[in-house]
Amino acid sequence: MTAPTLKVDLALVHYPVSNKNRETIVSAVTNLDLHDMARAGRTFGVDNLFIVTPNSDQQHLVGEILDHWSTGHGGKVNPDRKEALGIIRLSDDLAGVYEAATQKWGERPTVLATCARCQGDGVQSYEAVREQIFSGQPILLLFGTAWGLSSEVMQAVDGFLPPVCGQMEYNHLSVRSAAAIVLDRLLGKR
């Protein structure tokens, strides 16, 4: 059975994001986020995982990690990891991500933000977004690092996904854990 072609991209946003004081910052790229989100993305059929950071040192770090796993020793000993990390693309900013996704799909994707606190207006159910995806609509999912996407990003998106919540009040998942859960809800086999 051939898997459907899905028009889904992810963006792991390191700027603009908020710190715990709600100030806009640039957060640090982590090796674990790259590996785990790329592996989840590849598993669920995501086309690209955009890593968004304007910081040249952080971009260099991402480049070194990707080189190790694509052309270096890592890719030779672990071709599955090489395949997963092959979906990663770097971008200086979200405008570049929006442009790349629009050009690739021939239309602007619906941009949905993830958030641990989103409620009310603009929140779309997982079922509704899943239907959009499987009907062929391009979707771009934004995941924020640090304490989440900045208010300027949140104000500019088309909508939000419901928060991933457990039974407890505590709700501070790692971005890579939240991404895996969201992808399973939207793209997992039923």
pLDDT, tens digit (0-9, with 9 covering 90-100), for 56-71: 999 999 999 999 999 8
Closest CA to 144 of 25, 21, 56, 35: 25
pLDDT at 30: 96
Mean pLDDT computed over 141-170: 94
Superfamily name with CATH number, domain 8-187: SPOUT methyltransferase, trefoil knot domain (3.40.1280.10)
Residue 69 CB coordination number (10 Å): 25
Residue 86 makes CB contacts below 8 A (sequence gap 6+) with 42, 70
Answer yes or no: is pLDDT of 3 > 70: no
* CA gap 116, 5 in Å, rounded: 29
Q: What is the 8-class DSSP label of residue 149? A: B
Neighbours of 76 (CB within 10 A): 10
What average pLDDT does the chain have? 94
- Which of 163, 157, 159 lies closest to 97, judged by CA? 157
Query: Is the pTM here over 0.85, yes or no?
Result: yes
Euclidean distance between the first and final Cα of the chain, in Å? 15
Confidence of residue 45 (pLDDT cuts 50, 70, 90): very high
Pair 37, 47: CB distance under 8 Å: no
The residue behind tokens 């952080």 is 58
CB-facing half-sphere around the CA of 171: CA atoms within 13 A = 14
Strand (E) positions, the chain?
A: 8-13, 17-18, 24-25, 48-52, 88-91, 110-113, 139-144, 159-160
Over residues 155-181, the mean pLDDT reads 92
Instruction: State the Cα–Cα distance between residues 122 and 159, nearest whole angstrom.
Output: 5
